[in-house]
Amino acid sequence: MRRLLILTALIAVACQRPAAPLSADVAGDWLKLEKSLPPVDLTFTRSGSDLRARLRLSGREAFGTATVNGTHLRIVLDGQTEPLFGELLSDDELTLKLLSPTDDQRLHKQK
């Protein structure tokens, strides 16, 4: 019986998702490391309580705001009607959905 309880506790701990990164942890430069097109560079900066975003994609630059809710990322770029969505996979890795749900770009935080 005791072994069953220990095994159940270990499985429960192993299945837990790591704590979501804080929005303060998101601030910084995020780059696509793969050499495939398009090149993607995303920068988050703190402006008071706001999180500002700058996206450079294929030589074009756009600015906007970002919000983090758990591991979910939402970026609203100035002049764009549709937001971009992403997911924080860890403190130094995220996926960004650009054009379609199948067009995920994996970005890594620069140290």
Here the tokens at position 16 are 């837990």
pLDDT of residue 108: 95
User: Which of 49, 50, 44 has the alpha carbon at shortest distance from 28?
Assistant: 44
Helix (H, G, I), strand (E, B) or coil at 58: coil
The ranges assigned to domains in the chain are 20-109
pLDDT of residue 28: 94
Number of neighbouring beta carbons within 10 Å of residue 92 = 15
With 70 as the cut, is the pLDDT of residue 97 above it? yes
The model carries a pTM of 0.74
Helix (H, G, I), strand (E, B) or coil at 110: coil
Which residue reads 């303060």 in tokens?
A: 24
pLDDT of residue 61: 94
CATH T-level assignment (fold) for domain 20-109: Lipocalin (2.40.128)
pLDDT of residue 31: 94
